[in-house]
Structure 1
Amino acid sequence: MSFVSTNFLVFLLIAVTGYYLIPKKCQWIWLLLFSYVFYLSAGVQILGYLLFATLVTYGAGVWIEKTDKKKLVMLAAVLLDFGMLAYVKYFNFAVDNLNALLGIQIAERNLLLPLGISFYTFQSIGYVIDVYRGKFAAEKNPFRFALFVSFFPQLLQGPIGRFDRLAGQLYAEHTFSFQRIERGLQRMLWGFFKKMILADRLAVTVEILFRNYTMFSGLLNVMAVLCYSIQLYADFSGGMDVVIGAAEMFGVQMDENFKRPYFARSISEFWHRWHITLGTWMKDYIFYPLSLSRGMKKFEKFAKKKVGKKVGRILPVCIANIVIFLVVGIWHGPAWKYICYGLFNGIIIAFSNLMAPVYKKGLNAFHIPVQSWWWKGFQMLRTFVLVNISWFFDMGTDVKAAFTMMRTTFQNVSLQPFRDVTMQNIGFSGEDFFVVLFGCLVVLTVSILQERGVKIREALSERNWFLRWVAYGLLLLALPLLGETGPIGGFIYAQF
């Protein structure tokens, strides 16, 4: 059931209405019921994966508190959950590469990739590791735990929740609040604005340019990656707005997943602003355990002897970052292009860590004022260019296509495609240009205000009801007038 559909809006209306009409002690049961109905709408055959992750993680959490072999139980649960994810998502990818490498013929399997499996698997694994670490007590009620794993607004595309921040809200009794409903709808409306007016309007053009990359070059490649940059941000952050807004109507405050990433001044900062819950998950459950492990400590001592204390101290962090982003790349999908995407980011961050002392000396030597507006602007532009280079791997059909598009970007640089019928052929008319420009200006204005500390939602809530609802009405009116349903329909990250 796509979030951008009448079916979902009707489903959400029934869920919210019933939630506040039934006895408060039954509210969490109502949420659990609707979460499973929502997931079943995608097909009964995928329910088994969700149940498997739920039962394995629940059982492990309870068992950890009763056994002396806590680490063994935790590792078993992690391996089972990751094993399920690896099997359905990466089995055929592994088979293809083994066949090509060894010259054998292992048959592929017709595996169904369940929606949102990466999100609820990572959320489940984070829970069992936290129980093992003693961060909180295991949930004893299997049905309550099932709600934590399956809460329907976040089920398909995150954010990746933490039990200690989310569970109490899911199980709490909530009294109806018109302000809560209004603010939830407000957030959802903003998400639909970004999705329908920007992401879906650009979807056709992006698809044509990237899928037929051999037919285009020069500025059209620049256009392709810039349009994808806008599309992906509008789609993913818009999806998060819908998710967070829907959850807010049930009294559940979910973690923010975006913080104006295109204002980042380095790739490292970009990943602190983009898909925040995935980044913090990687940091807490992979980066720290890896960088603080015995093996890494031994390597650090070895490196200090061979290359000096300063570099030797930084090298383990660099390796941990590369491993983290290799996992991020693999998480995105079973393809070499995603591995390259992850390594591209990891290597840049590792290189930046190594070169940080050199950069600092250079800035001092040339007396560059690091807090000046022009230097910050340069850093943002530099980071934006690097991020857009990475999108060639993310959206390109494969690694070859990504490198071909990068190379041909500097060939046949001409304005001719913008003068002839090319724009019409790639689904980007003059009307599309002005609508996208309008949408970008609105999103940019809101982002600048937020970056400067203006709390727009709070400021809007302080206005009288007439001005608030006029603003909502204009936003709502813009959707059918300027929006596109597009060929994709659903949100991009739901496929992960």
Structure 2
Amino acid sequence: MSLISMEFLLFVGIAAVGYYLIPKQYQWIWLLIFSYIYYASSGVKLLFFLLYTTIITYGTGRLLEWIDRDQGDSKEEKKRRKARKKAILTGCLVLNFGMLAVLKYTNFVVENINAVFHTGISFQMLLLPLGISFYTFQSMGYIIDVYWGKCKAEHNFFRFALFVSFFPQILQGPIGRYHRLAEQLYAEHRFDLINIENALQLILWGFFKKMVLADRASVVVNQVFLNYTQYSGVTNIMAVLMYSIQLYMDFSGGMDVVAGVASLFGIELDQNFRRPYFATSITDFWHRWHITLGTWMKDYIFYPISLSKWMGKFGKWTKKVFGKKTGRVLPICVANIIVFLVVGIWHGAAWKYIAYGFYNGLIIAISSLLAPVYKKGLAFSHIDPKAKCWHVIQILRTFLLVNISWYFDMAVSLSAAWAMMKSTVTGFALQTLSDGTIMSLGLDRLDYAILAMGCLVVFLISVLQERGVKIRESLGQKPLILRWAVYGMLVFCIPMFGCVMDTAGGFIYAQF
């Protein structure tokens, strides 16, 4: 059930009305029922995978709690208890990530074995259940927190099932943390007209960005990237910029819709998108783009790697060989590269995604290593790091680096990405802007005008938000007539100028 379909809007409407009509102590049960109905709408058989993760994770949490009840305080008993807990946690991680790996990467592994060893292994293409990456990561974050003692194991199986399956976020995040989300899911919520109005604002704004801007930009993106041998130079650059628009509006619009739908039920999800194109570095970009994925990777992969024994030994070796300063930074660089390789693999089973992750990790690693040189260069050039002009330069530099990474993300393959990069440079010619090529990519003058105006509106609002202006609160303080005039304009613009494309779940990230 696509998030941008009339069926979904009707589904949400029925769920929200019933939510506030039934006795409040049953509201969480109502949410659980509708969450499973929503997921089953993608295919009843897919419920097996959702239940698989839910049952194993719930059982593991209870088992870890039961082991902790052993009150033995001797060193041997503590050591034995820790070993048992570690073995159980490992089993849970293997079972869940193993299922994800089999479904998501079997095709990729078999294809590469056939290519390298010239074998003819036959296999049946495996279909990836929608949202499995998101609910698997969310569930594993919970079980690791239980293992670390950061949260207590949930005793009620059905409550835990709601945490795993809460329908607004199950397809594309954000990846919730148990200690922040669970309490809201199980709490009793009263009908609040102001909250409903704010939720509808977010949903409308998300639909506008997705249907009017993202899907319109995707026309050019698909035309060029799917037929990359026919284009070069300025056309490639334009396609990449269009992909920047598409992905930004698609992802941020999706997060707005998801957050708005959750807010209809009085639930505030974690922020997952914070104006990433205003980032001043690749590190800052990942602090703003898919925030919950970044924090998940930091907490559950980066820190465990950085604090591991083998990394400690590696750090001592690097200090001896390269000196204290460089030796202190190198282990962090290695950990970052590993993390972003995982991020790349998470995005999809293809070499282009591995290259995408490695590219981001390498940029961050090089930036960390060259930080002292960078600082001295600024001092030598008498550039004030806090100057507005320098801030803008940093934003533009980061935007350029991000757009280079989009070649890997959107190209049909890694070889296609390299070919497009090469043809962008070797085939560069400004005459492309005036020879009619731009107008042959699927959009007409009106489409380009709508894109330009829409992006300008989003940019101006983003600038205000970056300066601390709370747009929704400011709009809420305006007269009722003005507020509803804005809503009416959005409602009018979406069907009038919308350009809906056929993507899984309605949004790009629903495919992960």
State the Cα distance separating 1:196 from its structure 2 match. Answer: 0.8
Is 1:100 the counterpart of 2:108 in the alignment? no
Q: Deviation at 1:421?
A: 4.4
Aligned to 1:34: 34
Counterparts of 1:87-236 in structure 2 under 5 Å?
A: 87-236=102-251
Displacement after TM superposition at 1:242 (Å): 0.1
Q: CA deviation at 1:101?
A: 2.2
Aligned to 1:331: 346
- C-alpha deviation, 1:403, in angstroms: 0.9
Q: What amino acid sits opposite 1:52 in the alignment?
A: Y
Looking at structure 2, the residues matched to 227 and 342 of structure 1 have their Cα atoms a distance apart, in angstroms, of 21
Match of 1:310 among 319, 322, 325: 325
Q: Secondary structure at the match of 2:127?
A: coil
SS, match of residue 152 in structure 1:
coil
Tell whether the 8 Å contact from 2:234 to 2:433 is kept in structure 1 after alignment.
Answer: no
Q: 1:342 aligns with which of 357, 363, 377?
A: 357
Task: Give the superposition deviation at 1:111.
Answer: 1.4
Q: 2 CA distance for matches of 1:419 and 1:347?
A: 38
Q: Deviations over 1:66-97 (max 9, x none)?
A: 12321111111111110000000001111111
Q: How does 1:26-105 map to 2 (within 5 A)?
A: 26-67=26-67, 68=81, 69-105=84-120
1:360 correspondence with 2:375: yes
Match of 1:495 in 2: 511
Pairs within 5 Å for 1:240-319: 240-319=255-334
Report Cα offsets for 1:145-181 as digits up to 9, x if no partner.
0000000000100000000000000000111111111
Whichever residue aligns with residue 66 of structure 2, its letter is: K
Please report how far the alpha carbon of residue 415 of structure 1 lies from its aligned counterpart in structure 2 after TM superposition. Answer: 4.1
Match of 1:25?
Answer: 25
Once the two structures are superposed, residues 338-391 of structure 1 have per-residue CA deviations (whole angstroms, 9 ceiling, x without a partner) of: 000000000000000000011111111111111111111111111000000000
Report the Cα distance in structure 2 between the residues aligned to 1:105 and 1:311, rounded to whole angstroms: 48
Determine the C-alpha separation between the residues in 2 that align with 1:479 and 1:52: 39
Provide the rounded CA distance (Å) in 1 between the counterparts of 2:141 and 2:315: 28
Distance, in Å, in 1 between the alignment partners of 2:450 and 2:305 is 47
**What corresponds to 2:387 in structure 1?**
372
Root-mean-square deviation over aligned CA pairs = 1.1
C-alpha displacement of 1:311: 0.4
CA distance in 1, matches of 2:473, 2:453: 24
d(CA) in 1 for partners of 2:225, 2:259: 31
1:93-126, Cα deviation, whole Å (9 max, x unpaired): 1111122223333322331210011000000100
Q: What is the letter of the counterpart of residue 22 of structure 1?
A: I
Q: What is aligned with 2:70?
A: none
Further displaced range: 404-413 or 183-192:
404-413
CA distance in 1, matches of 2:319, 2:484: 63
Task: Deviation per CA, 1:425-456: give whole Å up to 9, x if none.
Answer: 31121011100001100100010000001011
Gaps of 5+ in 2: 68-80
Q: What does residue 443 of structure 2 align with?
A: 428
Cα deviation, residue 136, structure 1: 1.1
State the distance in 2 between where 1:107 and 1:413 align. 43
CA contact (8 A) 2:306 2:332 kept: yes
Counterpart amino acid of 1:188? Answer: I
CA–CA distance in structure 1, aligned partners of residues 201 and 86 of structure 2: 45
Deviations 1:283-317 (CA, angstroms, capped at 9, x unpaired): 00000000011111111111101110000000110
Give the letter aligned to residue 400 of structure 2.
Answer: V
Contact 1:304 1:313 in 2 (8 A): yes
Give the distance between the partners of 2:381 and 2:441, measured in 1 at CA: 46
| CA deviation after TM superposition for structure 1 residue 484, in Å | 1.1
Cα offset, 1:197, TM superposition: 1.1
Structure 1 residue identity aligned to 2:413: D
Aligned to 1:328, the other structure's residue is in SS state helix
Instruction: Provide the secondary structure at the position in 1 that maps to 2:425.
Output: coil
* 1:153 match: secondary structure: coil
Indicate which of 448, 452, 459 corresponds to 2:474. 459
Match of 2:76 in 1: none
**C-alpha deviations, 1:446-475, integer Å up to 9, x for none?**
100000010111111112222211111111
> In terms of mean alpha carbon deviation, does 289-298 or 99-108 score higher?
99-108
Give the Å deviation of 1:420: 4.3
- Decide whether the 8 Å contact of 2:212 with 2:494 is kept in 1: yes
Give the % identical residues.
Answer: 60
Task: Give 3-state SS (helix, strand or coil) of 1:135's partner.
Answer: coil
Quick one: which amino acid aligns to residue 3 of structure 2?
A: F
Aligned to 2:425: 410
Quick one: which amino acid aligns to residue 57 of structure 1? T
Q: Count the aligned residue pairs.
A: 496
State the TM-score, normalizing by the size of structure 2: 0.95
SS of the residue corresponding to residue 410 of structure 1 reads: helix
Distance 1:181 1:308 in 2: 58
**Aligned equivalents of 1:226, 1:205: Cα separation in 2:** 10
- Cα pair 2:176 2:270 within 8 Å, conserved: yes
Equivalent in the alignment of 1:485 = 500
Code of the aligned partner of 2:4: V
> How far apart are the structure 1 equivalents of 2:113 and 2:125?
17
